[in-house]
Amino acid sequence: MNDLFSVSNFSLEFAGNDLLLFIIPPFVGLTYVVYSRTYPEVRGKWFWILVGLRSIAFSLIIALLLEPVLAFWNRGVKNPRLLLMVDTSPSMGVATGGQTRLERVKKFLLSDYWLENVSRVDVKSWAFSHDVYAVNLDTVEALKTGGLATNIGGAVEEATRKQGGVGDLQGILLLSDGAHNLGRGPIETLAGSDVPIYSLAVGEGEMPADLQLLQAKALGDGYVGRDLVLNATLNSQGYDGKRAVVRLYDGPREIDQRSLVLLGGEQKIQFTIRPDAPGPFTYRLFLDPQPGELTRDNNEALVFARILRERIRVALVASRPSSDLAFLRRSLAADSTLNVDVIVQKSAQSFYGEVGDYTAMRPSDVLVLLGYDEDAWSQSAFELVRERVRNGMGLLFVVGTDGTGWWQDPSGIDELLPIEGRRSPFVERPTALRRNSQGTGHPLVRSSIGQRGDPWSDLPPLTGYFPFSQQRQGSLVLLENQRGVPVVVSGVYGNGKTLAALSHSFWRLDLFSSGSAGNPQTIRQFWRNGVRWLATSSSVGRVRISTDRVVYRAGDSVLFTAQVFNELLQPQEGYAVAVELDNGHIISMRDVGDGSYQATYTGAPAGEYSYSVTAEFDGSLVGQETGRFVVDKYSVEWTDVRANSMLLSELARESGGASLSIDDADQLIRDWKLRQTVVEQRWDIRLGSGWEPLFFIAIFLAAEWLIRKRLGML
């Protein structure tokens, strides 16, 4: 596989002016004439030595001006460069006819036909699964399946980079089953490459007999003493009519099981548990294996569940009965995670029901204040509210039709809000809502995955809004009208979160959007999610971090998303943000704009992980946050082990190559466009570029001077 080269020629060239060569003969003649007429007269050998020394010194000076170059040429045949990519992912271990896919590949690479046809090809060999590594063709028999997933495009891209780039690469030979399941699609990744890709496909396109637990998850958060539903999806091939048993474990203890008849394809399974303790829990589902399964690694699935001590306690305090009260009460009551107590003012000093005033209510996680009547709020009641908000209780204030005096109440309730009021009446005009640009990343108004546009812009308008003088430090506008006037503002007070909704008649958004073209869930979910957000412990730190999931399959990419804020809780760009896992792995997060940062972690072994994210600016730490996730040992590789020869064919076609079955390798090798090329190489040696010529000039002139002195000519 070596290139064949031989020295074919050499020459002496001059980079300077060739006319300088014509100066040498006259100068030599002049030197001869001068030494012929010296006194004392010189004859014999000394005459010729002096003439020669001066002539040589002068010729060297002329040579320096000519810049002589001694050139050598090599001409030879260069073998074509080929990048060989061998798939060693777990799916290559699938056997057909007693032989695995990788064994078929190794048999081909060890065949005399292959060895003969690549004897004059410069082959660089790489193996890949979720990552890529160099291999030696002499030890191909030692290749084994392994890894977590298959990343065809990423592997080819990385191997090419490690090999020094495309350069004179004439082709890429891909030996794979085409079961790509990690990273961007190969066609997208390798788009624009000028190197043809030739592929030899191995494996069948049919799913072998197997049982799989595809996914499992808990339906929301759980609560101590209350039922929590766990859903799972089972997939079966080749066992129709057989009975299967799925077991649920809490640690080593089996807590439940389900038996079902396999119907082929996907089937749903549901478990209901009743947790007896709070905290994060990881449950394990196990599907009893059947004889002849492809693998048992995909018979397990992990389920992460967060168990809370009890439901969120909400105190809904209204200044009077109203349509907004009925709407709010109905929206919150529809959420089973909320426990809502209601106080409705009857008159200045009395309330409906048995509760005398707010001070008589049990402690709550969130206070929803609808409207405000200063006569109904004693100083002691306000002090209690202020103390609870400072200590972490959330506050949702909906101004309502009776909220016009909240800014001037001597008790100081406006102190808790994220805005400062002013003595202005309700501005009555149609008020269509939209998300504020600064608040688009807030969990209450940001878009869901796959959601397009702003759902708030599709809602009917409110009847107006209450103006205010200014926002407080740390507040953030979530919703505004079409003129940019804030309508919903979030903030913090002490350790508590606050929300202020500066309007009334929110029930209109629900009623008038409940038709066939409307979406009333936008406003309904806003109140429910708002209460949940207010109930979480107020993290007024400047860094937020989350993963797109809690439980991942082995080989899945873990996506970290962080948000960084300044002291005013406004999104900040340009920070140095990094994630550190408990295994010591550190990942720098990239700035994606609007204060958001993202990073991806691939190749995590099975297990539970904790992580922390830090944000720095100018070398100073500005915030830190922690989290956790779980990686299941079941690899994404076993979700679908069918060979995908169509992908390999399309990849070859897009790159200008060809794709065939490994059984037709001889035809592919005959047709590939690998050719030897004639290459001419040249090496130049500049004779006058160093100190040596000057040294010899000085030697010759010094020798001439010494001889002349000895002969008495000086």
pLDDT digits (tens, 9 = 90+) for 249-264: 998 899 999 999 999 9
pLDDT confidence of residue 495: 85
Pair 285, 339 in one domain: no
If you average pLDDT over residues 676-687, what whole number do you get? 70
Domain boundary pick from 535, 556, 573: 535
Output the DSSP codes for 303-324: EEEEEESSPEEEEEEESS--HH
pLDDT confidence of residue 695: 84
Pair 107, 184 in one domain: yes
Per the structure block, which two tokens stand in for 37?
Answer: 């007429």
pLDDT confidence of residue 622: 84
Amino acid at 259: S
Pair 462, 530 in one domain: yes
Pair 33, 97 in one domain: no
Distance CA 156, CA 131 (A): 10
Distance CA 426, CA 463 (A): 10
Pair 181, 277 in one domain: no
Pair 33, 146 in one domain: no
pLDDT confidence of residue 196: 92
Domain boundary pick from 482, 509, 535: 535
Quickly count: other Cβ atoms within 10 Å of residue 702's Cβ.
12
pLDDT band at 331 (very low <50, low <70, confident <90, very high): very high
Per the structure block, which two tokens stand in for 442?
Answer: 């807030």
> CB-side exposure of 646: number of CA atoms within 13 Å?
2
CA distances from 446 to 441, 443, 476, 489 (A): 5, 6, 13, 14
pLDDT confidence of residue 402: 62
List Cβ neighbours of 489 (8 Å cut-off, separation of 6 or more). 418, 419, 471, 475, 476, 477, 478, 499, 500, 502
E-strand stretches of 565-672: 576-581, 586-588, 590-593, 596-601, 607-617, 620-635, 658-661
Of the chain, the percentage scoring pLDDT greater than 70 comes to 87
The CATH number covering residue 291 comes to 2.60.40.10
Give tens-digit pLDDT for 126-171.
999 988 999 998 888 999 998 888 999 999 999 999 988 888 888 9
Pair 698, 575 in one domain: no
If you average pLDDT over residues 67-76, what whole number do you get? 69
Residue numbers of the domain that contains 366 = 312-535
Quickly count: other Cβ atoms within 10 Å of residue 232's Cβ.
21
Decide: residue 692, CB within 10 A, 0-12 exposed, 13-18 middle, 19+ buried.
Answer: exposed
If you average pLDDT over residues 428-454, what whole number do you get? 75
The CATH number covering residue 559 comes to 2.60.40.1930
The CATH number covering residue 92 comes to 3.40.50.410
List the one residue out of 459, 465, 455, 448 whose CA is nearest residue 510: 459
Pair 522, 574 in one domain: no
Is the pLDDT reported for residue 22 higher than 80?
no
Beta-strand pair 486-493/476-481: antiparallel
Give tens-digit pLDDT for 178-222.
999 888 889 988 887 789 999 999 998 888 888 999 888 888 778
For the chain, how many structural domains are there in total? Answer: 5
Distance CA 11, CA 71 (A): 5
Per the structure block, which two tokens stand in for 72?
Answer: 């050598």
Does residue 334 sit in helix, strand or coil?
A: coil
CA distances from 550 to 446, 562, 627 (A): 20, 15, 10
If you average pLDDT over residues 446-452, what whole number do you get? 57
List the one residue out of 142, 107, 111, 117 whose CA is nearest residue 127: 142
Quickly count: other Cβ atoms within 10 Å of residue 572's Cβ.
20
Give tens-digit pLDDT for 261-317.
999 999 999 999 999 888 778 898 999 999 988 878 788 888 888 787 777 889 998
List Cβ neighbours of 548 (8 Å cut-off, separation of 6 or more). 558, 559, 561
Pair 381, 516 in one domain: yes
Distance CA 235, CA 640 (A): 10
Amino acid at 502: L
Q: Look at the block and give the residue holding tokens 């790509």.
A: 180
Taking each helix axis from N to C end, the angle separating 692-710 and 45-66, rounded to the nearest 10 degrees, works out to 160
Q: What is the dihedral of CA 561, 566, 569, 572, to 10 degrees?
A: -50
Output the DSSP codes for 18-54: GGGGGGHHHHHHHHHHHHHT-SS---THHHHHHHHHH
**pLDDT, mean over the chain:** 83
pLDDT confidence of residue 179: 92
Domain boundary pick from 276, 308, 340: 308
List the one residue out of 559, 561, 564 whose CA is nearest residue 539: 564
Q: In terms of C-beta distances under 8 Å and separation of at least 24 residues, what long-range contacts does 452-457 make, across chains too?
A: 455/519, 455/522, 456/522, 457/432, 457/433
CA distances from 545 to 228, 281, 596 (A): 26, 20, 10
Distance CA 115, CA 113 (A): 6
Pair 304, 356 in one domain: no
CA 438, 444, 445 angle in degrees (round to 5)?
55
pLDDT confidence of residue 422: 62
If you average pLDDT over residues 75-88, what whole number do you get? 87
List the one residue out of 626, 580, 625, 616 whose CA is nearest residue 601: 580
Distance CA 442, CA 48 (A): 98
Output the DSSP codes for 481-493: ETTS-EEEEEEEE
Is the pLDDT reported for residue 79 higher than 50?
yes
Is the pLDDT reported for residue 89 higher than 70?
yes
CA distances from 149 to 90, 117, 551, 581, 657 (A): 7, 31, 17, 21, 25
Residue 472 vs residue 348, higher pLDDT: 472
Cβ-contact 638, 295 below 8 angstroms: yes
The CATH number covering residue 334 comes to 3.40.50.880
Is the pLDDT reported for residue 405 higher than 60?
no
Pair 303, 338 in one domain: no
Give tens-digit pLDDT for 23-66.
778 888 888 888 888 878 888 888 888 888 888 888 878 777 77
Pair 647, 596 in one domain: no
